[in-house]
Amino acid sequence: MEKTMKFKGQKVTITRDRVELDDRDADKRYYEIVGDNEQPHIPIMIVEEAEDDFWGTMIADEEFHMNNGDFHALSTDLGVKLAKAFGLME
């Protein structure tokens, strides 16, 4: 399942699957989404590569600036919105 949304002014695609390096389009930017370790159905941040608590993959046409150096923290509202979009919460 994939969902399309606006993120930081650009259209992005979100999937719950990890997109392996060999399957990535060279013209796109791929970021991995990390879930909360206490509430794993809620995503909390975007990173280049998730070591733990992988939640999904965000695919973008352009690179975006991370708001915390090497990661981008998601607001609780956006995390809940994503979880609901994927049917993980009501």
Q: Would you kindly state where each structural domain of the chain is located, as residue ranges?
A: 2-85
- pLDDT of 86 reads 87
Distance CA 70, CA 24 (A): 21
pLDDT 10s digits, 45-64:
999 999 999 999 999 999 98
pLDDT 10s digits, 24-49:
999 999 999 999 999 889 999 999 99
DSSP annotation of 63: -
Residue written as tokens 């970021």?
Answer: 31
Whole-model pTM above 0.85? yes
Q: What is the share, in percent, of the chain residues with pLDDT greater than 70? A: 100
Mean pLDDT score across all residues of the chain: 91
Distance CA 28, CA 40 (A): 27
Contact 78, 56 (CB under 8 A): no
Nearest by Cα to 51 from 68, 37, 38, 64: 37
- pLDDT of 43 reads 95
